[in-house]
Structure 1
Amino acid sequence: MIQGPITGGQHGWAFNRPLIDLAAKGFVEAEYFLEGQATTYGPVAGAELGRDGKWTVEPKGKVPFKTRFLVYRPADPAKFNGTVVVCWNNVTAGYELFFGEGPEVLEEGYAYVCATVQAVGVHGFEANPQGLAAWDAERYGSLSIPTDDASYDIFSQVARAVGPGRNGAVDPMGGLAVKKVIGLGASQSAGRLSTYINAVHPLAPEQGGHAFDGYMLQIYFGGGTAIEGSDPPVRVSPGAPGAARPLARAQNLIREDLDVPAMIVNTELEAIACLKVRQPDTERFRTWEAAALTHVSYQAQLTRNEKYQRDFGVAPAAPSEDMNRIYLQPFYDAALHHMNRWVNGGAAPPSQPLIDFDADGKVVRDRHGIATGGVRLPQADAPVAMNSSAPVSDDFSGRLRGSNRPFDAATLDALYGDEAGYLARFRQAAGAAVAAGVMMPRDVEPAVAEAALEYRRAQALSAREPATTAG
């Protein structure tokens, strides 16, 4: 059963909604509740959930649930491109993280659905709960997800609630003619989506399978999650013993017999994790790995912090100026653009070179410390700093944020002569990225403007405290 649009509550807005006014962009923003019974799954007797990803599961039981999903969709049906992206909201932080308001979605007319499918999203961690029910009991107090074992089927049910076959009394899509549905997960959600792809997608529709027309796994560490007993351990508080938990490591492939397209969109950091489960591109599978980028960029952290301050009323610590400063969104947007064409019967995303590794499994780097190979965004091929996955600090967050080390003035002068020379080289590199299909033409001018600021920042830091480039 679908209820909505949902309004009111203590705060008067949906948790983690965009900072921008979607109506001004020609979009409707609406939240809905979804209630029912969710199927849980277990391995078929004798089946092994092994490295090849060809996992055989079957329905095990059902549990009641009530959850929410947030919809962004074009107000004008003529501007809808026919594709809905359903995002598996990330709950690593103890509250939900998602971002569906990028230029590709807003300018190309997608609908974007942010789906709460895990228990932590609703109930939070036991210590200092920040889930939906604690954040706004008036709005979300009736929500309940008893176990993450139900998350896989809840994800299917959200997809069907917004897909082309929907037939409920409440239509979250406002009558839009939906043609295709893409499932998306990032970071921890990409791990769960990996399990969904390998185990749930192949099932018959009446068992929860075949709800999506394609999948995108962003910043994916190469390992799925359990199909049963999948609830995460209690998260320790920051700074407590054990808080510096390890990053995930590769465990399984994406099944090679998948009947819809799937794409992994990774940065340098996840490429390191995924090295042992790399698999070749096929007519239904692609991997992109971007050199010099890492899991969380400075720009993304600024947006997260602004949302956190609005929603929780507390200003988080400012992001380190030393963290990686190459924004991931243009990379994601180029991938989504190709994925949309792919699921609609067009050409697959262009295959891209992978990041170079040496015989010991370490990233090969140039004289400036920048990874060689891989997708080359202009910040990697026309750098003013060493951006990398190498962390500034060894805590969990630090290992996700990588590092940025600006070149000194002498290096900048030797490479580019002056700012005009640098921006000319940057435009050339951006043109190459557009030609390779890894950057959209609309993203070039914003990137050039940011590049000018990064050049001036490097010059200013060099004048204040000269640095030595990596090499």
Structure 2
Amino acid sequence: MFGNRSPTQSGPGAGRPPGGARRAARAPMAVVLTGLALLALPACWTVPGGGPGGPPPDIAADLSQELTGGNGPFIGAAVTVDLAQAGYVEHEYAAAGTASSYRAVGGLPQDGRWTFEPDGSASYRTRVLVRRPAQAAEFSGTVIVEWLNVSGGVDADPEWANLHEEITRQGHVWVGVSAQQIGVIGGQVLVQAPGPGSELAGKGLKAIDPARYGSLAHPGDGFSFDILSQVARGLRAGAALDGLQPRRLVAAGESQSAFAMVTYYNGVQPITAAFDGFYVHSRGASALPLVGPGQGADLTGALLSSPTTFRTDQTAPVFDVQTESDLTGILNSSKARQPDSDRFRLWEVAGTAHADAHLLGANAASIDCGVPINNGPLHLVAKAALRGLTDWLETGRAPVTGPRVELTEGLLPGVRRDADGIALGGVRTPPVDVPIDVLSGDPGPKLSTICLLLGSTTPLPADRVAELYPTRAAYQQRYGTSADKTVEAGFVLREDRAALLDFAEPERVTG
């Protein structure tokens, strides 16, 4: 996820991404290990709140200094959005203070009922990027706080990329937090993806734009969890929001950041009660390990760790959206499946991949996996999940439950498929149930680390298409019926029905 300065140049696209219409986006796995010389930073300030134990419950990040100059806000943007057209403005702030790291007491049981206590402390100065309604009257009261993803070697905003239409039409505030050190000071990137902007991977904000970000410092990813808590406390008090007063804070993270959400929910949220809800997208079976000062997140260690579920004894609900490819393979999230409850929802979406054509935009063309990468409508389902979570927080009504994708038995389970190769079970959409292509979480034949995450789009043979749909009208009728069924079930929003219909391809039916 590389390259763009500020996502304010082109209009939003809710449906199938047009070829070449968007700029660079990447989501490779990466492991970061680097050191840091700490700087003397301003003292933090306080607001009421928090919970028993751990760091003092009233510590909040100082969000009073707006970042300006240089080349403007930097983000590895997957999707660019005309914020002015959406009625939004963007501001960037330093977040400064002294954070705690944590250590686990009594191990990390698989039921997620972990006990953390503070370990060391260190000064930090990172950045937060705020996108909010230009008119205060349009604010919904909900703030989405995204732990920015660094798997491509730069800060990126995949949750914004997937959810921005829903965020802006509802009037939510979105805040991206540079929580991890590679995004701020750089570090070793073990897996890189080709494409424009890839030369920035691993450099960090300080080197990418020293005029704007030269004062930033990060003490290591062990402190990232408390940094997130302190930013949340500042936001809840109205800092960096130009007078807006939040009623609900939702923590959000995708991929590596979703691993971090698991750690935060199980170990940190019981101490801080900093968030009202959690939106988790494409987690693996385990959680992001705690690390020592100056160290980056041990993502390899996370992939090799024991599975863990979300604990079930907290008030804040969790909505977990998993793609088909997340369930098996290197992420293997099926090992951490848990039942839906009054505090937990899991949607497993058939025919989707960890990263896809919508997320990668124009850079999808730079990656050769042997077949086109997955081009399913995951982002449409993801927006319905966000609506489900925010309604849950506001009204107390739990979202609709979703069926699980069917898996084979055995030590290394796989996805069960029909005769065409399409996954059975799971949350389903018209491109899966009325197929022209086989949308799959399985990668193409040219294997690489990034291709393992991108799934595949394989055209059905022409004779199979003719067998399924004797006429174009028959295809369109079936597709429309399927779309209505998906919307009625609650897995795609009514506002996104037209975008769902855009995925139909009647021109490929010859009858």
Query: Normalised by the size of structure 2, how large is the TM-score?
Result: 0.79
> How big is the shift at 1:245?
11
Partner of 1:344: 394
Partner of 1:241: none
Aligned partners of 1:40 and 1:61 also within 8 Å? yes
Partner of 1:7: 68
Partner Cα separation in structure 1 for residue 204 and residue 142 of structure 2? 29
Q: State how 1:106-185 maps to structure 2 within 5 Å.
A: 106-126=168-188, 129-163=202-236, 165-166=237-238, 171-185=239-253
Is 1:187 matched up with 2:255?
yes
SS of alignment partner, residue 31 of structure 1: strand
Cα displacement string for residues 192-241 of structure 1 (whole angstroms, at most 9, x for unaligned residues): 110010000001xxxxx111001011011121122233844799xxxxxx
> How big is the shift at 1:328?
2.1
Q: State how 1:322-401 maps to structure 2 within 5 Å.
A: 322-360=372-410, 361-392=413-444, 393-401=446-454
Partner Cα separation in structure 2 for residue 260 and residue 175 of structure 1? 25
Q: State how 1:98-113 maps to structure 2 within 5 Å.
A: 98-99=157-158, 100=160, 102-113=164-175
Is 1:223 matched up with 2:286?
yes
Aligned partners of 1:91 and 1:97 also within 8 Å? yes
Residue in structure 2 matching 1:279, options 328, 338, 352 = 338
Identify if the C-alpha distance between structure 1 residues 389 and 173 changes in structure 2 by more than 3 Å, giving closer, same or farther: same
Gapped runs of 5+ residues in structure 1?
204-208, 236-243, 307-315, 461-471
**Paired letter, 2:429:** L
> How big is the shift at 1:416?
1.6
Partner Cα separation in structure 1 for residue 494 and residue 126 of structure 2? 38
Aligned partners of 1:249 and 1:274 also within 8 Å? no
Partner of 1:410: 463
Partner of 1:82: 141
Is 1:40 matched up with 2:108?
no
Identify if the C-alpha distance between structure 1 residues 318 and 125 changes in structure 2 by more than 3 Å, giving closer, same or farther: same
Residue in structure 1 matching 2:366, options 317, 333, 337 = 317
Partner Cα separation in structure 2 for residue 189 and residue 58 of structure 1? 21
Aligned partners of 1:221 and 1:270 also within 8 Å? yes
Partner of 1:22: 83
> How big is the shift at 1:319?
6.5
Partner Cα separation in structure 2 for residue 319 and residue 108 of structure 1? 37
Task: Count residues in correspondence.
Answer: 426
Which structure's relative contact order is higher, taking Cα pairs within 8 Å and 6+ residues apart?
Answer: 2
**Paired letter, 2:291:** E
Partner Cα separation in structure 2 for residue 248 and residue 217 of structure 1? 20
**Paired letter, 2:133:** P
Partner Cα separation in structure 1 for residue 290 and residue 303 of structure 2? 20
SS of alignment partner, residue 75 of structure 2: coil
Cα displacement string for residues 70-112 of structure 1 (whole angstroms, at most 9, x for unaligned residues): 0111111222111000000111111112142521011111111
Q: State how 1:266-305 maps to structure 2 within 5 Å.
A: 266-272=322-328, 273-302=332-361, 305=363
Partner Cα separation in structure 2 for residue 294 and residue 246 of structure 1? 20
The range that moved more, 399-408 or 360-369, is 360-369
> How big is the shift at 1:263?
1.5
Is 1:427 matched up with 2:480?
yes
Aligned partners of 1:342 and 1:349 also within 8 Å? yes
Aligned partners of 2:321 and 2:347 also within 8 Å? yes
> How big is the shift at 1:255?
0.7
Identify if the C-alpha distance between structure 1 residues 117 and 39 changes in structure 2 by more than 3 Å, giving closer, same or farther: same
Gapped runs of 5+ residues in structure 2?
1-61, 190-200
Partner of 1:71: 130
> How big is the shift at 1:406?
0.6
Partner Cα separation in structure 2 for residue 250 and residue 220 of structure 1? 14
Identify if the C-alpha distance between structure 1 residues 189 and 340 changes in structure 2 by more than 3 Å, giving closer, same or farther: same
The range that moved more, 60-69 or 416-425, is 416-425
> How big is the shift at 1:123?
1.5
Aligned partners of 2:443 and 2:453 also within 8 Å? yes
The range that moved more, 317-326 or 268-277, is 317-326
Partner Cα separation in structure 2 for residue 283 and residue 67 of structure 1? 36
SS of alignment partner, residue 84 of structure 2: helix
Aligned partners of 1:216 and 1:263 also within 8 Å? yes
